[in-house]
Every structure is written in structure tokens, then in C-alpha cells.
Amino acid sequence: MTAIPPCTLDAHDIHKAYGRHQVLRGVDLSVTRGQLVAVVGENGAGKSTLLQALAGTLPVDRGEIRLTGSLGYCPQDPVLNDNLTAEQHLRYFAAAHRLPDLDHGHALMARLGYQQYARTPAGHLSGGTRQKLNLTLALLHDPDLLLLDEPYQGFDWETYLRFWELVADLRARGTAVVIITHLVFEQDRFDTLADLAQGRLTPRTQATEAHHVSP
Ligand SMILES: Nc1ncnc2c1ncn2[C@@H]1O[C@H](COP(=O)(O)OP(=O)(O)OP(=O)(O)O)[C@@H](O)[C@H]1O
């Protein structure tokens, strides 16, 4: 009998309230290697709350989250030190992840097209470039699971297309990716659309022919 590969992420019965405002009311989500999952839902539905909970940056009130492997998390608002350059951010994060060099970081910078800003303090970067750096930092250690909260806000069209090429490569190598998105036109790109409403997540499996839609 073939063994079923373990889920990269397995979240069960997640509850989270802010005071008396119950935002998550029993969310279940399983993500396997190479799976690309979209989390959709209205403004205020709790998508960012869910991603923060999955990333472990927000304690939950109830439920269980199991993660196999390493995690990369790209929050909605870049968490950068305005006084450090893009290059210095790479250096700090590389040290934190005990990476031997910055080669991967430099490759990501080049791929996302902002290497000319390597020596610019983050406080002087444009919103889109800050977002590119945010994404680079989440990808630096080549995580097994990537959680992205509206990662392409502020990206120009060229960068947006490069972003999707990058995601396709990651997925082909087995990275599991969860993305919060509001863009209806791109929803065919995902294996699964998971709808967050009334504090619960309802997954819808996409048609298989939709996997390789060109930009
Ligand atoms: N730290 C907080 N304290 C209190 N309430 C919060 C906090 N963070 C979020 N909320 C509330 O929880 C609800 C869910 O917020 P969240 O940001 O998770 O929604 P979202 O689906 O990501 O929204 P959007 O699509 O607008 O980004 C909202 O009503 C929001 O006001």
C-alpha cells in the first residue's frame, strides 16, 4: 500500500476572537507539498488573522496547527527596519536562518528586478519595492510552506508576472503555498480556493486543467 505523504500544514478547529468579536470559528485547513491554495473572502472576514495564526505570530484561542518543515511568512504590511538597506536586511535574515551566503537572496533580488536598490535604506524604497523585499525575506531560506498575505500589492505588471513564474517554480519543487487574494481574475491559477466566511473556511477544488494558466 502506498503511504499517504504527510500534510505540510494541518490546521484544525482554529478559533480566534478579538475581545468579544469572534473572527475565526473553527477553521480547518490542510495543505500538501506543491499545493497552491487561495484564501478568499470579504474585507474583514478574518483572512489576515488566519494567516497570522498559521504563521504562529498570533496566539489562537482554540485549535491545533501542525507544520512539517520550515515556514516563510510574508505579512500584508512589510516588517522592515527603515534604517537598514535591502542588502542589510538580507544579511540579517540570512544570519538568522544560518545560510552560508546571500546567493539565493541576490538571485531573488535580480529576479524581482530591484537589485539597483540593494544599498538604499528601506525607508526610502517605494511601496512596491518594499513589498519585493518583504517577499524576498520570506523566501530567503527556501521554506517548505509559504504564507503570503496579498503579496503583490504595489507590484507593476512585469513584477506581477515574475511573481507568478516564481510561484510556479516553487510549486514544481514541492513548496506548499497559501496566498490571500482579492483578485477574482487570477483564481484559476490555484489548486484550491478556500472561502472564508462567518469564521469558517470552505475549500473548493479547482478544475485540473486550470493549473497552468498563462499570465
Ligand atoms: N488586533 C486586532 N484587534 C481587534 N480587532 C482586530 C484586530 N485585527 C483585526 N481585527 C478585526 O478582525 C476582523 C478581521 O480582520 P482581518 O484583518 O483578519 O480581515 P481580512 O479578511 O484580512 O480583511 P481585509 O480583506 O480587509 O484585509 C476585522 O473586523 C478587524 O477589524
> Residue with the nearest Cα to atom 5 of ligand 1?
18
SS3 for 5? Answer: coil
Measured in Å, residue 50 CA sits from the centre of ligand 1 at 10
> Residue with the nearest Cα to atom 16 of ligand 1?
46
ipTM reported for the complex, 2 dp: 0.97
**Pair 15, 24: CB distance under 8 Å:** yes
Distance CA 7, CA 92 (A): 30
One digit per residue, the tens of pLDDT, for the chain of length 215 reads: 556 556 789 999 999 999 999 999 999 999 999 999 999 999 999 999 999 999 999 999 999 999 999 999 999 888 899 999 999 999 999 999 999 999 999 999 999 999 999 999 999 999 999 999 999 999 999 999 999 999 888 899 999 999 999 999 999 999 999 999 887 777 788 889 999 999 999 987 655 444 443 44
Q: Is the CB of 44 under 6 A from ligand 1?
A: yes
Measured in Å, residue 160 CA sits from the centre of ligand 1 at 25
Residue whose grid cell is 517548505: 144
Q: Is the CB of 75 under 6 A from ligand 1?
A: no
Measured in Å, residue 99 CA sits from the centre of ligand 1 at 34
Q: Is the CB of 46 under 6 A from ligand 1?
A: yes
